[in-house]
Amino acid sequence: MPQTQYSVVFDIAQRELAWWPAALALVLLGLGFVAFFWGDRVGRIGESLRSLIVFGLLIGTWFGFHFSQFNRLRSASESGAYRTVEGRVEGFTVPPVGDHGPEVFQVNGQRFEVEHPMTSEAFNWTVYDGGPDLTGRCVLVHYTRPNEIIWLGVSARC
């Protein structure tokens, strides 16, 4: 069935990367370096603010990972460097409430895992986050790896 016959659930080409983690990392690093270099003049406040450097570096590293992944997935979408599978969703399982494990499903024998939004820039909209329940739905999936869905469409019929 042509891609136009599907209602688009997710398309990496239509998604924007969140900029706020990079801004937060820069603010934390800036405050941390100010505290580091002028901490002796400020006293104990300067010493306690030095940990901001560590948090800024952690958030910056996390953002760097997501930025790299987002650009790789966007590039794959634009160049057509992805695989496609079409069919009915089988074995759709949602982890129990409180368990942050992935949602798992299969389409024509190809297994997919949908992770929590903080872990991936690929399709990451779980049922607990308001995403679709794909049980028995007819879908078209473009993916780069089993856990990296870059386009997902749902159809009323297979």
- In this prediction, residue 120 carries a pLDDT of 86
* CA 3 to each of CA 36, 83, 91: distance values in angstroms, whole numbers, following the listed order: 55, 14, 23
Q: What is the pTM of this model?
A: 0.82
- In this prediction, residue 76 carries a pLDDT of 96
Residue recorded with tokens 């297979």: 158
Residue recorded with tokens 């409180």: 98
- In this prediction, residue 41 carries a pLDDT of 60
Per-10-residue mean pLDDT of the chain, 158 residues long, equals 86 90 85 71 62 82 91 96 96 83 93 85 88 94 90 90
- In this prediction, residue 44 carries a pLDDT of 63
Are 94 and 130 within 8 A, CB to CB?
Answer: no
